[in-house]
Amino acid sequence: MIGSVVIVGASIAGMHAAHTLRTEGYDGDITVVDADANTPYDRPPLSKQVLAGTWDAERITLPAAKADLGLRYLLGRRAMGLDMADRFVRLDGGEHIGYDGLVIATGAAARWLPGAPMLEGVHVLRNLDDCLGLRAELDDRPSRVVVVGAGFIGAEVAATCRGLGLEVTMIEGADVPLERALGSDVGGVMAEIHREEGVDLRLGVGVVGLDGSHRVEAVRLDDGSVIEAEVVVVGIGVTPNTGWLEGSGLEIDNGVVVDDTLCAAPGVVVAGDIARWPSTRYGELLRVEHWETAIQMGEAAARRLLADHHGREPATFDPVPWFWSDQYDRKIQLAGRSSADDDLEVVIGSLDERRFVALYGRAGRVAGVLGMNRPRHVMQLRPLVEERVAWAEGLATARGLA
């Protein structure tokens, strides 16, 4: 019998787990722990509306945090260790929080520039405090913002800064933005869009140093360039927050490895950016950093805990990953997966029009559907990924929609 559930991580995966526990009829204790002291909130607007200042922080409070779910919150408290034998989580300060069921949803942390000095004006963007600190500096109208990394976070920050009328230089090590994720054809379109929007885009270069004694003054690149800047935003990826789980007995390998029901150990489930699960659809372990997937995982993790409680067969977790990014007036959506190694075929519209749908193929099947300003078609073609349709058939179906 489950009488107490502890959820470590109060972002969307953890909060959806809490909500699902209640809607599925669990009325025992639920304790939610998070090192972030803010009322649980939604992350995607942190690189868009909240950063731009068009939305206040209150607007992104998660619905589950506003609902009356009878949760005990321990916010601003950090989980330091896990003892699965005696079933407790150890917090900073030494306190032990016992559990019958545990949801691990501690997500991931933004990477800083390796070896760079800690100067004022250098930011990562992961949580609300990061966002508000950066927003305050943007309000001072810096003469130039340097964004390191042209991935999704970097690109959205650059777009938001351009929307504010700020000068932006964006630095990317690959030949085009998002090359590894989307391939060089689509990446090439992204590069053009950034440049047309007035971003000074530097490709194929890396940062070798930051100048400044107290506050950043310039960024040095490996091609010898020196870019003067008062604000630097580092968007070079995240690492899963698994440090607190070292020595716990869980399998830690680029996240916490779980089975196909999101279970890592008896009474322990994992959800969100930290989870690495075996996908039957893709035949390998996946860890994704997608909003919708985190929600689906939070819900599935809660049901997994209750499956034992209710004596039900646990369900397999293998949804089609779903991702979107809003940059300037473009909406990019991806159903499934994509990589530079996949076959790529534009099936509706064209890259030049900046309005298209492309299919990604791997091992003879449709692996992903990518759309730019084509939401209807992406949604209609998602079943190609769900059903692992053969490549030729997928192309024919997609072209038939055009």
Angstrom distance (rounded) from CA 284 to CA 359: 20
State the nearest-atom distance from the C-beta of 322 to other proteins, in Å: 8
Span near other proteins by CB under 8 A; candidates 148-156, 306-314, 361-369, 371-379: 371-379
String marking each residue 323-352 x if it binds other proteins according to CB under 8 A: -x-x----x-x-------------------
- The reply to whether 322 sits near other proteins by the rule CB under 8 A is yes
Residue 159 near residue 318, CB atoms below 8 Å: no
Indicate the residue among 285 and 379 with the shorter CB distance to other proteins.
Answer: 379
- Closest approach of other proteins to the CB of residue 396, in Å: 20
137-to-140, 148, 192, 201, 295 alpha-carbon distances in Å: 5, 17, 28, 22, 32
CB of 13 to other proteins, least distance (A): 14
Measured CA distances, 227 to 67, 130, 194, 217, 223 (Å): 48, 23, 18, 9, 11
Nearest to 170 by CA among 181, 179, 180, 159: 159
Residues 19, 17: Cα–Cα separation, whole Å = 5
Instruction: Mark the segment that binds other proteins (CB under 8 A) among 109-117, 215-223, 246-254, 319-327.
Output: 319-327
| Spatial separation of the C-alpha atoms in residues 396 and 279, rounded to whole Å | 26
Contact 75, 10 (CB under 8 A): yes
**Binding span for other proteins by CB under 8 A among 172-180, 309-317, 320-328, 360-368:** 320-328
In the complex, least distance from residue 85 CB atom to other proteins, rounded to whole angstroms: 37
Neighbours of 375 (CB within 10 A): 13
| Phi, psi of 283, deg, nearest 5 | 65, 30
- Interface with other proteins, residue 376, by CB under 8 A: yes
292 is a contact residue toward other proteins (CB under 8 A): yes
Stretch that binds other proteins, among 127-135, 199-207, 259-267, 377-385 (CB under 8 A): 377-385
Q: Which of 42, 27, 8, 226 is nearest to 131 (CA)?
A: 42
CA distances from 143 to 227, 257, 308 (A): 11, 45, 58
Q: Residue 376 or residue 399: which is nearer to other proteins going by CB?
A: 376
Q: Is 382 helix (H, G, I), strand (E, B) or coil?
A: helix
Q: Determine, following the binding rule CB under 8 A, whether residue 382 of this chain makes contact with other proteins.
A: yes
Among residues 7, 51, 295, 344, which is the contact residue for other proteins, using CB under 8 A? 295
* Contact residue for other proteins among 88, 379, 387, 388 (CB under 8 A): 379
User: Please, which residue, 4 or 49, has the CB nearer to other proteins?
Assistant: 49
The residue behind tokens 């999704």 is: 152
**Concatenated DSSP letters of 324-361:** EEEETTEEEEEEE---TTSEEEEEEEETTTTEEEEEEE
Q: Residue 106 has which token pair?
A: 């501690």
Give the helix/strand (H/E) hosting 29: strand 29-34
Closest separation in Å from C-beta 172 to other proteins:
26
Report phi then psi at 69, rounded to 5. -100, 0
291 scored as a contact of other proteins (CB under 8 A):
yes
Query: Coil, helix or strand for 309?
Result: helix
Q: Which is nearer to other proteins, 112 or 324 (CB)?
A: 324
Quick note: the x/- pattern for other proteins over 51-70, rule CB under 8 A, is ------------x-------
Q: How far is the CB of 16 from other proteins (least distance, A)?
A: 8
Complex with other proteins: residue 55 or 112, whichever CB lies closer? 55
Comparison of 61 and 261: residue with beta carbon closer to other proteins: 61
User: Which tokens is 52 given?
Assistant: 């731009």
Interaction of residue 44 with other proteins, rule CB under 8 A: yes
Binding site for other proteins (CB under 8 A): 44, 63, 291-292, 295, 322, 324, 326, 331, 333, 373, 375-376, 378-379, 382
